[in-house]
Amino acid sequence: MLIPSVMTAQTLDECQQAAERNYPLIRQYDLITKTTDLTVKNLQKGWLPQLSAQAQATLQSDVTNWPDQMQTMMQQMGISTKGLSKGQYRLGIDVQQTVFDGGLIRSQQQIARQQGKIQEAQNEATLYQVRQRVNEMYFALLLTEERIRLTQDLQTLLTANEKKLAAMVKGGTAAASDEQTVKAERLNAVQQLTELQSQKQMLRHLMTTFCGIEVAAPVKPSFPSQAALQENNARPELKVLDAQIQLANAQEKALDAALMPKLGVFAQGFYGYPGYNMFEDMMKRQGSWNGMIGARLTWNIGALYTRKNDKAKLNAQRSMFNVQREVFLFNNRMEQLQESENMTRYQRLMATDNDIIALRSSVRKAAESKLSHGIIDVNDLVREINQENAARVQQSIHELELLKEMYDQKYTTNH
């Protein structure tokens, strides 16, 4: 159980999915979700009672007092009239409860959710680029493996001709230099094979690191249908622009909520001097408990001053996002057009690849026969062998490049 299991991936889709799971940016999805949820929950707490405590002590230059005539009259009646003290204090608590906010909290929550959607869409757009990098490495690995196979076939062919020439040298019908020429060409093929195998190992190591799993021998993907390539564009970058437009709509609704009146209830209580009974406090000069409950209706029309400009600003932002959308779609269509032209070019080239290979193979076989009869020299044979191999390499390149263009177009339209 302590031995880690090794996952393998061979298809292009498996490699793309593994690379997306392995890419560090994937962890940001959870962080965005958590941040958005916390923001929405904090805004929801705006409906909870809001408590505030306060303590205050003052020394005033003047205070409310009895008129002189009343003081004289009360003194005659034997009533002490000290009046309010210039030193005053209070320690209290205020409680406020929102009853109606005109939809302000709801609109703020909608804005927070929409901002979270924008971040998720931006994250998705960045993560989507991983597919293109996987495509590049995957088809490079496929092409390298195909060239390895053709180089091995070339070695086999050169080895067979080398053995024939060795027999001819023993029989005195060929010079030793002819055998050496073919042998040198075979050794060149051995060197090419070594370089290609090293390149394959490097590409497999890169893909294994990038995908986070061991990548075994890749499987050449099938040709996608033309209908799938012509479907509507579903690139994640368009989701970003759509989410930004929706955010502007939510912000516009918040402007309406800001103009609505606000209704709330409140309760205040404090211990201090003076209290609400002013006359008693003038007589006793001692702290007392005081309380008040009530309702408050506020209507701040200051948002009207900037409402017109704020709405114009949001309209301008929406127009800007629509322009960005058109620019992206225009550039995307240009990429699709270029990829379509490349696909057409490779299809035309592939139409004659088999004929070229058949002709080169026939010429090579004829050259082998001519060499056996001493009609041509070995250099002509080597040239024909290399040209046949080059034709087979070109056929593989055309086929894989056509496949790559098709899958690049799938990436361009996200299908």
Higher pLDDT, 73 or 399: 399
Q: What is the mean pLDDT of the segment spanning 304-324?
A: 93
Cis, bond preceding 24 (omega within 30 deg of 0): no
Residue that wins the pLDDT comparison between 1 and 237: 237
The sheet carrying 87-100 orders its strands as 50-59, 87-100, 262-273, 288-298
pLDDT tens digits, residue range 193-211?
Answer: 999 999 999 999 999 999 9
Print the SS3 string covering 325-344: HHHHHHHHHHHHHHHHHHHH
What is the model's pLDDT at position 329?
A: 94
Cα–Cα distance between 326 and 319 in angstroms, integer?
Answer: 11
74-78, 160-164, 306-310: least confidently modelled range: 74-78
With a CB cutoff of 8 Å and minimum separation 6, the contacts of 225 are none
Summarize pLDDT for 151-196 with one digit per residue, the tens.
Answer: 999 999 999 998 988 988 888 877 888 889 999 999 999 999 999 9
Closest CA to 134 of 210, 28, 235: 210
- CA atoms of 267 and 294, how far apart (whole Å): 7
- Contact between 250 and 110 under an 8 Å Cβ cutoff? The reply is yes
Q: Whole-angstrom Cα distance, residue 33 to residue 43?
A: 16
- Joined together, the tokens standing for residue 392 give 């087979």
At 327, list the tokens: 């620019």
pLDDT at residue 27, rounded to an integer: 86
Model confidence pLDDT, tens digit, residues 77-110: 777 677 788 889 999 999 999 999 888 999 999 9
Q: Quick check: 404 pLDDT over 90? A: yes
- Whether pLDDT at 367 is above 50: yes
Is residue 213 left, alpha or beta, with left meaning phi > 0 and alpha meaning psi from -120 to 50? beta
Which DSSP helix (H) or strand (E) runs through 371?
helix 304-372
In the DSSP assignment, the letter for residue 56 is: E
Reported as a pLDDT band with limits 50, 70 and 90, residue 111 is: very high
Considering only residues 267 and 64, tell me which one the structure prediction assigns the higher pLDDT.
267
**What average pLDDT does this structure show over 320-329?**
95
Average pLDDT over residues 300-308: 86
> Is the pLDDT confidence value at 9 over 60?
no
Query: Considering the entire predicted model, what is its pTM?
Result: 0.80
How far is it, in rounded angstroms, from Cα 160 to Cα 155?
9
Confidence label for 5 from pLDDT (cuts 50, 70 and 90): very low
